[in-house]
Amino acid sequence: MKLINPSSNAALQVRIDQQQGIPLRAEFRCAAGELLAVVGPSGGGKTTLLRMIAGLSTPQSGEIRCGEQIWYNEQQCLTPQQRHLGYVPQHFGLFPHLNAEANVMAALDHLPKAERRAQARDWLRRVNLDGFPERLPHQLSGGQKQRVALARALARNPQVLLLDEPFSAVDRGTRERLYVELAQLKAKLNIPVIMVTHDINEAVLLADRVVLISQGAMLQQGEPLAVMAKPHNELVARHMGLRNIFDARVVALESNEQLAWLQFGEQRIACENPGHLQLGMQLRWVIPNQGVRFNSISQGRLPRSFNKLQVTIESMLVMGDLVRIATSVAGVEHPLQAEVSLNLAQKLGFHEGMQTEVALKSDMIHLFRHRA
Amino acid sequence: MDWLSLWLSVKLAAVSVAILLPITLWLGRSLAYHQFYGKSWLEALIMVPLVLPPTVVGYYLLVGLGRESWIGALLEQYFDAQLVFHFSGLVIASIVINIPFAVQPIQRAFEAIPEEIRDAAACCGMSRWRILWRLELPLAWPGILTAIVLSFSHVLGEFGVVLMMGGAIEGETKTLSIAIYDSVQAFDFDGAGAMSLLLVLFAMVTLAITSAMSRRMLRRSA
């Protein structure tokens, strides 16, 4: 099979439908210049999905195409070599007996021998790894290994870049630096970049769009903050790391203001009416952390769109410059949790057992159907 | 010292290993990377010579390759070749009995290469042959060397199966270990001692090399 010339700026389209073995169903598109994060718990099928895109394993049915070039469908399946992509495995997959430069050169077989070394050095420099070309992989730090793997993946001018948990094997400081580097690199590459991660914060930080996968099924896709604000169901909300998920009952509807009132324990809260609510309906609702406010009350300017709730601080956990606060609400079984800055917590004099008021932004309350 | 027997032993070991190596490389790599129906049975079959007495293997080879067997009859009819009581028969016997000694370390060495490395190589555009030559063989080399050393020294010291298959024909099938046995039978303890010492020294050197290699392999895969 002859490879057509790699067309840049081609979008990657993936549709996978696998019932037997490891079940996996997903359908998404990743445009050139876009970073798509495939997020989900371990063992949920993320790496399998990435391997299928790379051509390292074959789905039972579906279609994978990059621009006009079909990588996989029921009739044909291109090998990884023919797909012309860059792949950085979770533990980098560096060739242990070859030095950093030779690792990158291994991806440059298509060039004349004389050009390979210069190209490899150039790529190492572009990923900010200057000065270690002679080192063997075991002589490099986690971050340096990652850069070599990235240089090797990019050296072929791939049509698509695939990253499997790219930051899981490096220390925190390096990770922060690599975040910035990846964000800068993405802007220059102008190819689809697909990153698999179990860390939702990483996805929110770096990705243009997220695809949420759990137990082989695609739960939701969209912009990270949109998915965070409007999860389709409770499972999505939990995977997005949202902890404030509660039961409620619709007790009043204001048709002109498009507001609904929910009974929440012994208190009532207002939220936007999505249109399908009926009196007496049992619902679940969720609010992201940024919808829970303490400071607006202290400053005495509580707008109409905030719900004022009486709560008791049950526990406070200091985590760096943040405090994770769990509060109890009268008549509600589960605690309402929030993260505030340590500075604010000290300013407001928070302590365990303290009664205070908290504001829930009504437009950030998102409703979904009661669990079956 | 029976120099002719020593030379014959070395020749037998070299020829056997030269034929054994490509077979076991293919077999070991296939067992390491492919899942197929009946794999456990094949692995068991490969291991059988390891646990059976060499005389049993020798007996089956004698029966299976002798002039009365269909293989033996075919060989004699078309090639005028005989295996039993000939050097070629010893080579076949040595190969059969050494397959487990060679397959095991080779299979383990291929298995020890992380899947990610082979995946990354394929995504780098390297062809399957190139991956084999540039990655798999260099990375599996300590295991391959172990296989070569182990089977070479094992052929050098093999007694039971050689005796069953080849007897003790001077210059044709009388290997060093048979010569030691014959020397003892003839009360030539000095000759037997010298030859035994040679085999002991050789075994020690090869085993030291082998264990150093496996340590290196473990370090690298860690």
Q: What is the pLDDT of residue A257?
A: 67
Q: Label residue A164 by pLDDT band (50, 70, 90).
A: very high
Closest alpha carbon within chain B to A53: B123
| DSSP calls for B41-78 | HHHHHHHHHHHS-HHHHHHHHHHHHSTTSHHHHHHHHH
CB A171 within 8 A of CB A142: yes
Q: Which chain A residues are within 8 Å of B114, Cβ to Cβ?
A: 91, 93
> Residue A3: pLDDT above 70?
no
Q: What is the pLDDT of residue A177?
A: 84
Q: What is the pLDDT of residue A260?
A: 86
Give the least confident one: A1-15, A69-83, B123-137, B172-186: A1-15
Structure tokens at B126: 């390297």
Closest C-alpha among B182, B135, B183, B136 to residue B162: B182
Closest C-alpha among B206, B217, B190 to residue B2: B190
* Beta carbon pairs, A and B, within 8 Å: 69
Ranges of beta strands (E only) in B6-150 are none
Q: What is the pLDDT of residue A63?
A: 93
CA distance B143 to chain A (A): 15
Q: How many CB atoms lie within 10 A of CB A218?
A: 19
Q: Does A54 touch chain B (CB under 8 A)?
A: yes
Report percent pLDDT > 90 for chain A.
35
Alpha-carbon distances of A89 from A155, A170, B120, rounded to whole Å: 16, 13, 7
CB contact under 8 A, B134 and A106: yes
CA distance A76 to chain B (A): 18
Structure tokens at A57: 């394993």
Q: Label residue A370 by pLDDT band (50, 70, 90).
A: low
> Smallest Cβ distance to B126: which of A93, A109, A138?
A109
Q: What is the pLDDT of residue A272?
A: 85
Strand, helix or coil for residue A88: strand
Q: What is the pLDDT of residue B33?
A: 93
Residue with tokens 């060989």: B75
Backbone angles phi, psi at A185, to 5 degrees: -65, -40
Domains assigned to chain B: 3-221 (1.10.3720.10)
Pairing of strands A282-286, A366-369: antiparallel
Closest alpha carbon within chain B to A89: B116
Q: What is the pLDDT of residue A254?
A: 81
CA gyration radius for chain A? 25
CA distance B222 to chain A (A): 10
Nearest-angstrom CA–CA distance, B1 and B180: 9
Nearest-angstrom CA–CA distance, A75 and A62: 10
Burial (Cβ within 10 Å: 0-12, 13-18, ≥19) of residue A281: middle
Arithmetic mean of pLDDT over chain A: 86
Nearest-angstrom CA–CA distance, A226 and A210: 10
pLDDT in tens, A84-128: 999 999 999 999 999 999 999 999 988 888 899 999 999 898 888
Closest alpha carbon within chain B to A90: B116
pLDDT in tens, A191-218: 999 999 988 888 888 999 999 998 888 8
Read off the amino acid at residue B123.
C
Closest C-alpha among A189, A187, A183, A190 to residue A167: A183
Which of A87, A103, A108 to probe by mutation at the B interface, max B CB count within 10 Å?
A: A87
Q: Which chain A residues are within 8 Å of B127, Cβ to Cβ?
A: 81
> CA neighbours within 13 Å on the CB side: how many for A116?
15
Closest C-alpha among A241, A212, A236 to residue A371: A236
CA distance A60 to chain B (A): 18
CB B96 within 8 A of CB B78: no
Closest C-alpha among B219, B118, B80, B96 to residue B165: B96
Nearest-angstrom CA–CA distance, A107 and A97: 15
Task: Please give the CATH topology (third level) of the domain spanning A245-369.
Answer: OB fold (Dihydrolipoamide Acetyltransferase, E2P) (2.40.50)
Q: What is the pLDDT of residue A231?
A: 87
Q: Label residue A1 by pLDDT band (50, 70, 90).
A: very low
Q: What is the pLDDT of residue B18?
A: 96
Domain residue limits, chain A: 12-85+158-239, 245-369
Q: Does A240 touch chain B (CB under 8 A)?
A: no
What is chain A's percent helix, strand, coil content, to nearest 5?
A: 30, 35, 40
CB A223 within 8 A of CB A205: no
Q: Label residue A5 by pLDDT band (50, 70, 90).
A: very low
Q: Which chain B residues are within 8 Å of A90, Cβ to Cβ?
A: 116
DSSP H/E element including A287: none
Structure tokens at A208: 């243009």
* Mean pLDDT, residues A139-157 taken together: 91
Which residues, listed in sequence order, are joined to residue A270 by a DSSP beta bridge? Answer: A261
The count of residues in chain B is 222
Ranges of beta strands (E only) in chain A are 12-18, 24-30, 35-39, 61-66, 69-72, 86-88, 161-164, 193-197, 209-214, 217-222, 245-254, 259-264, 267-272, 282-286, 292-293, 306-319, 322-329, 336-341, 355-361, 366-369
Closest alpha carbon within chain B to A151: B124
Closest alpha carbon within chain B to A92: B116
At how many degrees (to 10) do helices B189-221 and B3-33 cross? 20
Q: Label residue A62 by pLDDT band (50, 70, 90).
A: very high
CB B92 within 8 A of CB B69: no
Superfamily name and number for A12-85+158-239: P-loop containing nucleotide triphosphate hydrolases (3.40.50.300)
Give every residue of chain B whose pLDDT is below 70, as ranges.
217-218, 220-222
Pairing of strands A193-197, A161-164: parallel
Q: Which chain B residues are within 8 Å of A152, Cβ to Cβ?
A: 120, 124
Pairing of strands A322-329, A306-319: antiparallel
Q: What is the pLDDT of residue A372?
A: 45
CB contact under 8 A, B122 and A89: no
Closest C-alpha among B116, B189, B14 to residue A90: B116
* Mean pLDDT, residues A314-332 taken together: 90
Q: How many CB atoms lie within 10 A of CB A13?
A: 18
> Smallest Cβ distance to B125: which of A88, A109, A149?
A109
Q: Which chain B residues are within 8 Å of A50, Cβ to Cβ?
A: none
Instruction: Give contacts of A 140-199 with B, CB under 8 A.
Output: 149, 152-153, 156, 162
CB contact under 8 A, B114 and A91: yes
CA distance B45 to chain A (A): 29
pLDDT in tens, A217-237: 888 899 988 888 888 888 888
Nearest-angstrom CA–CA distance, B73 and A59: 51
> Residue A4: pLDDT above 60?
no
Q: Does A86 touch chain B (CB under 8 A)?
A: yes
Q: Label residue A134 by pLDDT band (50, 70, 90).
A: confident
Contacting A with CB below 8 Å, chain B residues are 114, 116-117, 119-127, 130, 134-135, 138-139, 220
> Residue A6: pLDDT above 60?
no
Q: Does A79 touch chain B (CB under 8 A)?
A: yes
Closest alpha carbon within chain A to B117: A93
CB contact under 8 A, A153 and B117: no
